[in-house]
Amino acid sequence: MDKKKVKLNILGLSYSQTQSGAYALVLAEEEGDRRIPIIIGGVEAQSIAIKLEGLEPPRPLTHDLFLNFARAFDVELTEVLIYKLEEGIFYSELVCTRSSEVIRIDSRTSDAVALALRFNCPIYTYEEILAKAGIVLDFGDTKESSGTSSPTSTPSPRSRSSSQSDNNPLASKTLAELQAMLDQAVEAENYERASEIRDEIKRRSK
Task: Residue 95: name the closest of 87, 84, 106 by CA.
Answer: 106
Q: What is the pTM for the complete model shown?
A: 0.68
39 burial type by CB count under 10 A (0-12 exposed, 13-18 middle, 19+ buried): middle
Element containing residue 109 per DSSP (H, E): helix 109-119
**Tens of pLDDT along the chain (206 residues)?**
568 899 999 988 887 766 667 888 999 999 888 999 898 988 898 899 889 888 888 888 899 999 999 999 999 999 999 999 998 899 999 999 999 899 999 999 999 999 999 999 999 999 999 988 888 755 443 333 333 333 444 444 333 343 344 567 777 778 777 777 777 776 666 666 776 777 777 777 76
Fold classification of 5-152 is Bifunctional nuclease domain (3.10.690)
Contacts of 197 (CB under 8 A, 6+ apart): 170, 178, 181, 182, 185
Dihedral of CA 151/38/21/161: which sign?
positive
All structural domains of the chain with their residue ranges? 5-152, 156-206
Strand 123-126 to 76-86 pairing: parallel
Element containing residue 110 per DSSP (H, E): helix 109-119
